[in-house]
Amino acid sequence: MALKSTIFKFDLDVADIDRGHYGRHALTLARHPSETDERMMVRLVAFVLHAGDALEFGRGIASDDEPALWQRDLTGVIETWIEVGLPDEKQVRRACGRARQVVIYAYGSGATLWWSKVGASLARQAQLAVVQIPVATSRALAELAQRTMTLHCTIQDGHVWLTTGEHTVEIAPIALKAAG
């Protein structure tokens, strides 16, 4: 018998001072049975950092052809492809061939090792940006996860503060590679 996805609902207030984006987003995320709370919450942080009307969650883990998040223009051209985790180098190259901008949010204890292995070969991908979420931060995010949540997020000077009202996690993303 196949396991079903677990549904999470987020009421998210975003105040992105860096980009001038202020909005309220009602999000429903389906957490795949093989996905951890940590990965799901990093997906949420990726959404927060790119929040906008055209940003959508992809099928992610359930599909090799779709990222964790993406933004397409009105003609269907992929503007931004956002992946979460430690994707295979081949997948990254394929994404770079399909999208104008590709952003990877690497997290977990293997992120530094992963980047040391693939970083040199992906350095030529001009539209690629790679951001690392520190291990302690991604674990703290996982501890926040609840099936229904109201979150407030402030982004300023590249730092993200995500709060439930009772608990706050500060996220200081580390840029491993900037898009060229």
CATH of the domain at 113: 3.10.640.10
Predicted confidence at residue 64, as pLDDT, reads 66
Predicted confidence at residue 83, as pLDDT, reads 96
Confirm whether 1 is domain-assigned.
Answer: no
Predicted confidence at residue 55, as pLDDT, reads 93
| Residue 33 belongs to domain spanning | 6-177
If DSSP codes are grouped into helix, strand and coil, which group holds residue 155? Answer: strand
Predicted confidence at residue 150, as pLDDT, reads 97
User: CA-to-CA distance for 12 and 15, rounded, in angstroms?
Assistant: 10
Predicted confidence at residue 100, as pLDDT, reads 96
User: What does pTM read for this prediction?
Assistant: 0.94
Predicted confidence at residue 62, as pLDDT, reads 59
Spans of the chain, pLDDT less than 50: none
Predicted confidence at residue 47, as pLDDT, reads 96
Q: Are strands 55-57 and 69-72 parallel, antiparallel or unpaired?
A: antiparallel
Tokens standing for residue 32: 């795949």
Instruction: Work out how many domains the chain is built from and give that number.
Output: 1
84 in Cβ contact with 43 (< 8 Å): yes
State the distance between the two ends of the chain, measured CA to CA, in whole angstroms: 47
Predicted confidence at residue 180, as pLDDT, reads 78
User: CA-to-CA distance for 126 and 129, rounded, in angstroms?
Assistant: 8
Bridge partners (DSSP) listed for residue 128: 102
Predicted confidence at residue 58, as pLDDT, reads 86
Confirm whether 159 is domain-assigned.
Answer: yes
6 in Cβ contact with 43 (< 8 Å): no
Predicted confidence at residue 65, as pLDDT, reads 76
